[in-house]
Amino acid sequence: MSSRRKPDWLKMRPPSGERFTDIKETLRDHDLHTVCEEASCPNMGECWSGRNGPGTATFMLMGDRCSRGCNFCDVKTGGMEPLDPDEPANVADSVAKIGLDYVVLTSVDRDDLEDQGASHFAQTIREIKDRDPGILVEVLIPDFQGEERLVRKIIDAGPDVIAHNVETVERRQFPVRDRRAGYEQSLSVLDQVDRESDIYTKTSIMLGVGEYDHEVYQTLGDLREVGVDVVTLGQYLQPSRSHLDVDAYVHPHKFETWRRVAEDEFDFLYCASGPMVRSSYKAGELFVDAVIREGKDVEEAREDARRAASD
């Protein structure tokens, strides 16, 4: 068990507000899950309460139990149930009821299913787009064991952003991730999206899990090599004593250095980097929204996103 105490910069306000309550009630009414709750995201209060703009939530598809057991993740492992055929429509209905114009979808891994849930995921995207083509849809997908035909199902459904998280540097893939995941496999998923579409690609790296600076630098280079557009870097926080220990709490100044390296040296379109940043962090959504919907150039979109995140 880690005996490290959290520094002051990691303290967050508890979830609250009318917007937060409305979103939670809508999700329960439709028997839906969010990764915000299942993964104990520290930003849930900020995002759901809409403190920096319209409230948002990341919907977690295909149940609340995962077929994999990553040592950093708070989502339960094993005991998966059959897919709910009504879930794609229920998610789309909830999006309309909440009034979201930017939707993030993710899922548990479902290695137990014939197509690992790719068709179900793709159908959810289509249900949302069919109701309102103007809604921007970002998806955070599993690796689908690297099967290109399954990744292609997601591409063909037409989301605006496809994210897949490499999570950490190559050397620390295990014990951080389940042994069925892998660095090269994740890079191949991101590379396929870049090769086969014009969809924006995105990934996330956790810091504080035993990585070295030169490894983070190498990882950023590898990600840019396969065409990743947006990268987020955040602090790993131990969900419980049974999870992977925190190796280090990384200072905000270092996160800012990595942001500059990512944008200025590696030329990522956008980098959200900070202790509380997560893969579905709102600043990243604001950047994509500004580029796609408002047609702003990269520099202007970066400034808008950072201004909103600091408010």
Per the annotation, binding residues are: 36, 41, 47, 66, 70, 73, 280
CB 172 within 8 A of CB 248: no
CB 268 within 8 A of CB 305: no
Q: Where are the beta strands (DSSP E) in 161-290?
A: 161-163, 200-207, 230-235, 270-273
Please report, for residues 80, 124, 156, 251, 284, the alpha-carbon distance to residue 193 in angstroms, rounded to integers and kept in the order given: 28, 19, 10, 33, 19
Report CA Rg, the chain: 18
Residue 240 buriedness (CB in 10 A; 0-12 / 13-18 / 19+) = exposed
Which structure tokens are listed for 130? Answer: 């069919």
Which of 299, 232, 297, 220 has the alpha carbon at shortest distance from 261? 220
d(CA 294, CA 132) in angstroms, rounded, equals: 17
Q: Known binding site for [4Fe-4S] cluster: residues? A: 36, 41, 47, 66, 70, 73, 280
Give the DSSP per-residue string, 93-129. Answer: HHHHHHT-SEEEEEE---TTSTTTTHHHHHHHHHHHH
The amino acid sitting at 195 is R
